[in-house]
Amino acid sequence: MKIFTANQIYKADKFTIEKQQIPSDALMERAATQLFEWIHSRLQGAEVTIQLFCGIGNNGGDGIALARHLKEADYNIQVHVVNYSEKRSKDFLLNLERLKDRKIWPEFLNDDCVMPEISPNDIIVDAIFGIGLNRAPSEWVGKLIEHINASQAFVLSVDIPSGLPSDRMPWNTDHVIRASYVLSFQVPKLVFFLPETGVYQNQWELLDIGLDAEFLVKEEVDYEFMTQFDVQPIYRPRLKFSHKGTYGHAVIVGGGYGKIGAVQMAANACLSIGAGLATTFVPECGYHSLQTALPEAMVLTDAEDDYISEIKIPFKPNAIGIGMGMGTKEETVQAFGKFLKEVDLPLVIDADGLNILSQNPKLLNEIPKLSILTPHPKELERLIGEWKNDFDKLDKAKTFATKHDIVLVIKGAHTITFYGGKGYVNSTGNPGMATAGSGDVLTGMITGLVAMGYDSLPATVLGVYLHGLAGDIGASLVSYDALKATGIIENIGKAYLELFKRPEPQEGKGA
Ligand SMILES: NC(=O)C1=CN([C@@H]2O[C@H](COP(=O)(O)OP(=O)(O)OC[C@H]3O[C@@H](n4cnc5c(N)ncnc54)[C@H](O)[C@@H]3O)[C@@H](O)[C@H]2O)[C@@H](O)CC1
Ligand SMILES: Nc1ncnc2c1ncn2[C@@H]1O[C@H](COP(=O)(O)OP(=O)(O)O)[C@@H](O)[C@H]1O
Ligand SMILES: [K+]
């Protein structure tokens, strides 16, 4: 699913209005009808007070049109116009007239207004600013937003929480609506997925307002939100007349004294996702535990007992995952550097592999093209340097991935994969996955998919999606708190099955 910028949404609006030959307020009416149906199907005429805060642009227009529908269904409404500018939009004015025709007189709030009383039992509709916000809200509007946030009422934001710009950090973090729920039109907004800007909503959902399908398909975007529908086509079914050689031989290199478990989990995940064969390469001390815990995997050992000193793989693997639990001892750094020079297939590099790269930036030039790097935020910072905010982080990450011709995975609540100047935002996963070893599992899964013949980018996008989905299934069985990394591995099979279930209506989770 494409993620559009505000400008692209305006373009889609214009295209739709021209192609479908509809008046401009028709889209606003579709938006309001969808909003009304969503609310009405849940409230079923309940006597709760609905307070609508409407700006003077098209977001406000949506709110005013919604007020008309709510009144027609006999809801108890109070409409406030947040009168922050004299430049009212045409469709806002049209809908204000329609409201007045029905004898509904909104209260106009100006810079000297008294803050309206809000009960915690009220429902707030936040239609103050939409994607047109392009400068800091005035102080009094910011105070009104603070007042709404302090009310403890349920806040339903129209399109985007008011005060949250769609393409930059807010000017004042207190002057952004904290939405209980966002009903967003047609396409998700990038800000829903970033740690610093995703905190302004608990949940979001898309409403289809019929923007033209041709435009949605053709428009090129910088970011895509990877849903079940987007990921399904990547999957390649196993063939009847296949054998284990068809699904590749993966090697997992890593481990050190006390950190063999990381390799074990990665190799287990690698086999669980479907690699034909898996071999681990670990220091000698890992031999017995690996052979015991994971009988399906083969084990090669380093000459050293406790750490890796020379990586020797006496056959040509189809994929190599490297770095988990490996440490950054000088001998290991030398071995890793030598290995990078020798190897001629893309690698999946994680954990200490990434730390060694950050400490020895010259090695960055030795990374095979199309390798996959999977840093968590701290490892990413060591690789690309500090960032000012999430948007700066995305720019830096994209530049780094393009410069080295690699797939860069920024792990987090919504993992983002960068390749070829484009970002793929993952839709699965949960806070239960913030637990030791879940990154090792991801590395193993992606390595397995590469071994099976998937190219680097599809392997990563599919691996990240299935990893999150396996975590979601695992958490649904044992709770977020009790989920462990091995619980993710156990549910990889169910994640495959889930991938092909009929899609649920789109609904997302916030912070
Ligand atoms: N394709 C879609 O998604 C559709 C979107 N619609 C709605 O239209 C909204 C966008 O409407 P607008 O472009 O009118 O913009 P907004 O309603 O978000 O903002 C109103 C106007 O105020 C001005 N403004 C921006 N920041 C300000 C500030 N800090 N203080 C004072 N004035 C400021 C801007 O010039 C802006 O045009 C969407 O968020 C959505 O709710 C719907 O009406 C119909 C279709
Ligand atoms: N709050 C969260 N929501 C969703 N996924 C998460 C969350 N926290 C962590 N994860 C996922 O769990 C994994 C953690 O990786 P990492 O930090 O490398 O763990 P480790 O080093 O312990 O193996 C990543 O894939 C990340 O996306
Ligand atoms: K809004």
Regarding whether 173 and 286 lie in a shared domain, the answer is no
- Report pLDDT for 503: 61
Binding residue positions for AMP: 411-415, 439
User: Which residue among 25, 29, 90, 133 is best mutated to probe the pocket of ligand 1, counting the most ligand atoms within 8 A of its Cβ?
Assistant: 133
413 lines ligand 2 (CB under 6 A): yes
- Average pLDDT (65-70) is 98
Q: How far is the CA of 158 from the centre of ligand 1 (A)?
A: 11
Q: Could you tell me the CATH number of the domain that includes residue 135?
A: 3.40.50.10260
* Inside any domain, residue 511: no
DSSP 161-204: -TT--SSS--S-GGGS--BSEEEEESS--GGGGSTTTGGGBSEE
Percent over 90 (pLDDT), the chain: 96
Write the residue with the smallest CA distance to atom 15 of ligand 2.
439
Give the pairing type, strands 223-226 and 249-253.
Answer: unpaired
DSSP state of 323: -
Length of the chain measured in residues: 511
* Inside any domain, residue 279: yes
Mean pLDDT estimate for the chain: 96
DSSP state of 427: -
- Report pLDDT for 502: 78
Domain-ending residue, one of 221, 245, 265: 221
Which candidate, 156, 175, 180, places its Cα nearest to that of 165? 175
* Inside any domain, residue 506: no
- Report pLDDT for 511: 43
Q: Could you tell me the CATH number of the domain that includes residue 422?
A: 3.40.1190.20
Q: How far is the CA of 62 from the centre of ligand 1 (A)?
A: 10
Q: How far is the CA of 172 from the centre of ligand 1 (A)?
A: 19
Cβ neighbourhood burial of 220 (10 Å; 0-12, 13-18, 19+):
exposed
Q: How far is the CA of 113 from the centre of ligand 1 (A)?
A: 22
Spatial separation of the C-alpha atoms in residues 378 and 383, rounded to whole Å: 9
- Report pLDDT for 260: 98
* Inside any domain, residue 509: no
DSSP 101-165: HTT--PEEE-TTPPPPP--TTSEEEEES--TT--SPPPHHHHHHHHHHHHT--EEEEESS-TT--
Spatial separation of the C-alpha atoms in residues 254 and 265, rounded to whole Å: 11
Regarding whether 156 and 300 lie in a shared domain, the answer is no
User: Which residue among 373, 411, 426 is best mutated to probe the pocket of ligand 2, counting the most ligand atoms within 8 A of its Cβ?
Assistant: 411
Range of the domain at 412: 231-501
Flag whether pLDDT at 113 surpasses 80: yes
Residues lining ligand 1, Cβ inside 6 A: 9, 12-13, 27-28, 31, 55, 57-62, 84-85, 89, 129-138, 158-159, 185-186, 209, 211
Regarding whether 332 and 458 lie in a shared domain, the answer is yes
* Inside any domain, residue 494: yes
User: Which residue among 264, 433, 488 is best mutated to probe the pocket of ligand 2, counting the most ligand atoms within 8 A of its Cβ?
Assistant: 433
What's the distance, CA 196 to chain centroid? Answer: 13
State pLDDT tens for residues 277-296: 999 999 999 999 999 999 99
Which ligand has the nearest atom to the CA of 11? 1
Q: How far is the CA of 135 from the centre of ligand 3 (A)?
A: 15
Regarding whether 41 and 66 lie in a shared domain, the answer is yes
Q: How far is the CA of 186 from the centre of ligand 1 (A)?
A: 15
State pLDDT tens for residues 121-179: 999 999 999 999 999 999 999 999 999 999 999 999 999 999 999 999 999 999 999 99
Regarding whether 396 and 431 lie in a shared domain, the answer is yes
Cβ neighbourhood burial of 17 (10 Å; 0-12, 13-18, 19+):
middle
Regarding whether 460 and 438 lie in a shared domain, the answer is yes
The lowest-confidence range among 75-84, 236-245, 367-376, 441-450 is 236-245
Neighbours of ion ligand 3 (CB under 5 A): 126, 157-158, 162
- 505 pLDDT band, cuts 50/70/90, is low
Flag whether pLDDT at 507 surpasses 60: no
Q: How far is the CA of 143 from the centre of ligand 3 (A)?
A: 16
Regarding whether 338 and 239 lie in a shared domain, the answer is yes
Which ligand has the nearest atom to the CA of 23? 1
Spatial separation of the C-alpha atoms in residues 372 and 258, rounded to whole Å: 26
User: Which residue among 59, 110, 141, 157 is best mutated to probe the pocket of ligand 1, counting the most ligand atoms within 8 A of its Cβ?
Assistant: 59
Domain-ending residue, one of 171, 186, 221: 221
- Report pLDDT for 504: 61
State pLDDT tens for residues 313-372: 999 999 999 999 999 999 999 999 999 999 999 999 999 999 999 999 999 999 999 999
Domain-ending residue, one of 193, 221, 249: 221
* Inside any domain, residue 24: yes
* Inside any domain, residue 226: no
Binding residue positions for (6S)-NADPHX: 58-62, 130-136, 159, 262, 325, 376, 440
Structure tokens at 281: 């390469």
The domain total for the chain is 2
- Average pLDDT (171-194) is 98
Which ligand has the nearest atom to the CA of 181? 3
DSSP 203-220: EEEEE-----HHHHHH--
Regarding whether 408 and 287 lie in a shared domain, the answer is yes
Regarding whether 98 and 69 lie in a shared domain, the answer is yes
State pLDDT tens for residues 370-420: 999 999 999 999 999 999 999 999 999 999 999 999 999 999 999 999 999
CA 185 to ligand 1: nearest atom: 3
* Inside any domain, residue 507: no
Regarding whether 198 and 242 lie in a shared domain, the answer is no
Q: What's the ipTM? A: 0.93
210 lines ligand 2 (CB under 6 A): no
Which ligand has the nearest atom to the CA of 65? 1
State pLDDT tens for residues 248-267: 999 999 999 999 999 999 99
415 lines ligand 2 (CB under 6 A): yes
Q: How far is the CA of 398 from the centre of ligand 2 (A)?
A: 20
Regarding whether 367 and 251 lie in a shared domain, the answer is yes
Regarding whether 266 and 136 lie in a shared domain, the answer is no
* Max Cα-Cα span within the chain: 86
Contact 441, 265 (CB under 8 A): yes
- Report pLDDT for 142: 98
